[in-house]
Amino acid sequence: MNAVRLLLDNLREGPVTVRLPEQVPTRSGYRGLVTQKSGCIGCGICAYVCAPGAIEIHRALASYDWIYEPGKCTFCARCTLDCPVQVLTMSAAAPPPYSRPGELHTLATLPYPACRICGRPAPPASELLLDRVFGAPSEAIRNWSALCADCRRRERAAELLEASNVAP
């Protein structure tokens, strides 16, 4: 008898499904699609902490690609919490309806800043990363982290040569 009563109640109340293109209202604290503001440094920490692999970083010589695939995302917000420059956020709105996988795929190609010595692209290190690695980084470490790999090696070689000449 309970099944018949449940069936009659459902028929009396009508459908609960929200028809497209209407959106289901969201509550406060809702975690939607990951969005990227300007200021990303391409460190790759977001891709590293993304367990389902919804975020990928593909590095090239002068730029990098930041790729987000919402179909793989579990909306856990680890990427937003661990971003050292806090440029990732989660939208408060529900994603738009889509019918094919990859339809909400996001690709951002971002250039690296220029090396302050030679002008070639140099993948930077964030202040938070430098603080975690070096404690309280000196101005010399900050300047060194803004160089390309070749200029870093040259600077380090010059320091070693200078130190070997000073020794008695």
In a domain, 145, yes or no: yes
The domain tally of the chain equals 2
In a domain, 14, yes or no: no
CATH of the domain at 47: 3.30.70.3270
Residue 24: what are its φ and ψ, rounded to 5°? -75, 135
If asked whether residues 134 and 94 sit together in one domain, one would say: no
pLDDT digits (tens, 9 = 90+) for 57-107: 998 888 899 999 998 999 999 999 988 889 999 998 888 877 888 888 999
Domain limits at 143? 113-162
If asked whether residues 100 and 126 sit together in one domain, one would say: no
If asked whether residues 40 and 90 sit together in one domain, one would say: yes
Exposed, middle or buried, 74 (CB in 10 Å: 0-12/13-18/19+)?
A: exposed
pTM, rounded to two decimals = 0.69
Q: What is the SS3 assignment for 166?
A: helix
